[in-house]
Amino acid sequence: MDDGTEPNSRSLAMLETPCLILDAAKMRRNIARMAAHIAPFGVSLRPHLKTAKSIAVARAVMASPQGPATVSTLMEAEQFAAGGVRDIIYAVGVAPAKLDRVIALRRQGVDLAIILDTVEQAEAVAAASRAAGLRIPTLIEIDSDGHRGGVGPAEPDRIVAIGRILAGDAELRGVLTHAGESYGSRTPEQLRDWVEIERNAAVSAARTLRAAGLPCPVVSVGSTPTALGAVDMTGVTEVRAGVFVFFDLVMAGIGVCTVDEIALSVLATVVGHQREKGWILIDAGWMAMSQDRGTAKQAIDQGHGVVCDLLGRPYPDLIVSAANQEHGTVTIRPGSNATLPDLAIGDRVRILPNHACSTAAQHGRYHVVEGESDAVQAEWLRFGGW
């Protein structure tokens, strides 16, 4: 089985910049930490692969080469299915026109489940199931945080109405929720509140279905912050989380990881200075970093990323404070007394991202290193698109 890896024995100093670097040692520690954290709860981990988009990373984080896994696009479902994954939830409310691709994957032997939150969608899924002669497993999306989709907690009748349609001609597999608002947590107490809000929303919806005589085998919750913040998962059967594999500066700002645990960075080259302004210019702009500025709303604004040396060790208070398409402007963080490091044109740095999902999406491959080494061990391919 091709796992999208290519042998490689170059050093970081030889790579074309900008490019994406993955510290696989940190990645494995992050994966082990999540596994150890949720083990006592007796729930399964269904990692969200929208961050990784790489079969090599998927295999490192999934419980088995067959899954389980979560995806955000049908392209991810198809790519991971081609890599041998057999147990997938496509966790974005389904558009009826996408059911053909869902059915095609199921006919290939992939247990692909979908989610939805309206009677109209449920009727479309039931009709497509009848027409295809198979039952599409479907979870009802529950709105635990008022953030985007899902049936609200005060709408038990709608949950039951959707459940009855699915149980008729499709397959009612359970309920699913995601408290994305947990990303806004500023204190451990706020995070614990989101953990309980998320769990309660899912467990209560499951109770509603069961009280109506409907099945609800799967009760799926999760995000990286709520998974790592959980102290009680009673009633939950599985946890979804994705960004914990790499972590990022937003997660460090929430407090669920340290900056040292961030496994992903962008390698860049110094291409200029404006010495009187205290600026170092690098060849990683927003095309390489993305325009995600998730830390702008946190206590510490990390600009477009934290600047590290070639081996991934952060310089004190050095950030990418501005970015154009292919230029980054590196400065000392405003208010800091730190000194600008003496970086010459041609020197290389690594930038830790605000948001692993969006920065990784700007790149076609991971260049893999192991810890504080400049030896590139492998290239792991990424895919994009829908």
CA–CA separation, 316 and 294 (whole Å):
20
Rank residues 162 and 233 by Cβ distance to a copy of itself and give the closer one.
162
Task: Residue 98: name the closest of 119, 72, 80, 133 by CA.
Answer: 72
Query: Among the candidate windows 233-241, 253-261, 267-275, 331-339, which touches a copy of itself by CB under 8 A?
Result: 267-275
Using the rule CB under 8 A, is 375 a contact of a copy of itself?
no
**Residue from the set 185, 226, 329, 331 that interacts with a copy of itself by CB under 8 A:** 329
Rank residues 25 and 361 by Cβ distance to a copy of itself and give the closer one.
361
Using the rule CB under 8 A, is 326 a contact of a copy of itself?
yes
CA–CA separation, 92 and 223 (whole Å):
14
Task: Residue 166: name the closest of 211, 122, 221, 224 by CA.
Answer: 122
**Residue from the set 281, 308, 330, 376 that interacts with a copy of itself by CB under 8 A:** 281
Q: How far is the CB of 161 from a copy of itself (least distance, A)?
A: 15
Rank residues 283 and 317 by Cβ distance to a copy of itself and give the closer one.
283
**Residue from the set 12, 43, 92, 110 that interacts with a copy of itself by CB under 8 A:** 92
Using the rule CB under 8 A, is 342 a contact of a copy of itself?
no
Rank residues 233 and 380 by Cβ distance to a copy of itself and give the closer one.
380
User: Between 119-132 and 99-107, two packed helices, what is the crossing angle to 10 degrees?
Assistant: 40
Number of residues that bind a copy of itself (CB under 8 A): 60
Using the rule CB under 8 A, is 255 a contact of a copy of itself?
no
Using the rule CB under 8 A, is 16 a contact of a copy of itself?
yes
Query: Among the candidate windows 12-20, 167-175, 204-212, 223-231, which touches a copy of itself by CB under 8 A?
Result: 12-20
User: Between 188-211 and 156-169, two packed helices, what is the crossing angle to 10 degrees?
Assistant: 60
Q: How far is the CB of 232 from a copy of itself (least distance, A)?
A: 27
Q: How far is the CB of 287 from a copy of itself (least distance, A)?
A: 6
**Residue from the set 54, 72, 208, 223 that interacts with a copy of itself by CB under 8 A:** 72
Rank residues 188 and 272 by Cβ distance to a copy of itself and give the closer one.
272
Rank residues 180 and 235 by Cβ distance to a copy of itself and give the closer one.
180
Rank residues 1 and 275 by Cβ distance to a copy of itself and give the closer one.
275
For residues 3, 12, 249, 224, the Cα torsion angle rounded to the nearest 10 degrees is 20
Buried b (16+ CB within 10 A) or exposed e, 44-81: bbbbbbbbbbbbbbbbbbbeeeebbbbbbbbebbbbbb
Strands 44-45 and 69-71 turn out to be unpaired
Give the angle subtended at the CA of 57 by the CAs of 53 and 60, to the nearest 5°: 145
DSSP per-residue string spanning 272-329? EEEGGGTEEEES--HHHH-S--GGGGSSS--TT-EEE-TTSPEEEEEEEEEE-SS-EE
Using the rule CB under 8 A, is 47 a contact of a copy of itself?
no
Rank residues 117 and 171 by Cβ distance to a copy of itself and give the closer one.
117
Burial class (CB in 10 A: 0-12, 13-18, 19+), 168: middle
Rank residues 29 and 130 by Cβ distance to a copy of itself and give the closer one.
130
CA–CA separation, 271 and 358 (whole Å):
24
- Mention every residue, 6+ apart, whose C-beta is less than 8 A from residue 229: 182, 188, 191, 192, 194, 195, 256
Q: How far is the CB of 272 from a copy of itself (least distance, A)?
A: 5
Task: Residue 83: name the closest of 48, 60, 59 by CA.
Answer: 59
Chain residues in the site for a copy of itself (CB under 8 A): 16-19, 50, 72-74, 92-98, 116-118, 120-121, 124, 143, 147-149, 180, 269-274, 279, 281, 283, 286-288, 290-293, 322, 324-327, 329, 344-346, 357-358, 361-364, 384-386
